[in-house]
Amino acid sequence: MLRDPERTAPQVYDALQMCKGPNLGVNFSLCCPFTLLAHYRELDFVERCGVSRYLIRISVGLEEPQDLIARLDEALRKCG
């Protein structure tokens, strides 16, 4: 979990060198602000259910695992 997600989640999302969007069956990795996309009008409700409004969903594709780890590491370091 990110520290201070209200501030850092958008920064990590923007810094992450990965295609953005929901997973529609592609073979490459995607990330999206899942809770915002799926529950935009009911954010208070989903947070009461234990789901963060700052959740970033990553759908992993066929890239090399080390490449994906390096991209995540870089995005987290930029926003540390």
CATH number of the domain residue 74 falls in: 3.90.1150.10
State the residue range of the domain holding 54. 5-79
What is the Cα–Cα distance from 54 to 39, expressed in whole angstroms? Answer: 12
The whole-angstrom separation of Cα 67 and Cα 32 is 19
Task: Name the pTM for this structure.
Answer: 0.87
Model confidence pLDDT, tens digit, residues 19-74? 999 888 899 999 999 999 999 999 999 999 999 999 999 999 999 999 999 999 99
User: Based on the number of CB atoms within 10 Å of its own CB, is 54 exposed (0-12), middle (13-18) or buried (19 or more)?
Assistant: buried
Domain count, the chain: 1
- What angle do the packed helices 65-79 and 5-15 form, to 10 degrees? 130
